[in-house]
Amino acid sequence: MLAFPSNQFGGQAPASPNCERAYMHTKVGVPMGAASLTVFDTVDVNGPTAHPLFRFLKRASPRFADCGGCDIAWNYEKFLLDANGIPVARYRAADSPLMAEEAIRQLLGM
């Protein structure tokens, strides 16, 4: 799992990159240094300063009906990519990561 904090949503990620990493690991329940979660530095995900990765994800991912112009609506919105890096699903911030379980199993051929 890759996590990219953004301070574009109510100023929720104003801390240093190390503080944001520690918070994210605590929130998700994964110990610091665990290979299953990489937390990157804070980035912009919307607007003219959006990181290129998020411009791609928003453009290429399947959209849910009320995506609001496809901008990311809130922190913890999730994108599921296939083995080639192509987005195959997009989940709202409020959606549990467990909602992706069946799609992940399909991608893994399980």
83-110: per-residue pLDDT in tens? Answer: 999 999 999 889 988 899 999 999 999 8
Residues 6 or more apart whose Cβ sits within 8 Å of residue 43: 4, 5, 6, 50, 51, 53, 54
Of 54 and 35, the one with more pLDDT: 54
pLDDT of 69 > 60? The answer is: no
Of 101 and 15, the one with more pLDDT: 101
In the chain, the DSSP E strands lie at 2-3, 38-39, 78-81, 87-91
> With bands split at pLDDT 50, 70 and 90, how would you rate the model's confidence at 65?
low
Burial of 84 (0-12, 13-18, 19+ CB in 10 A): exposed
Residues of the chain above pLDDT 70, percent: 94
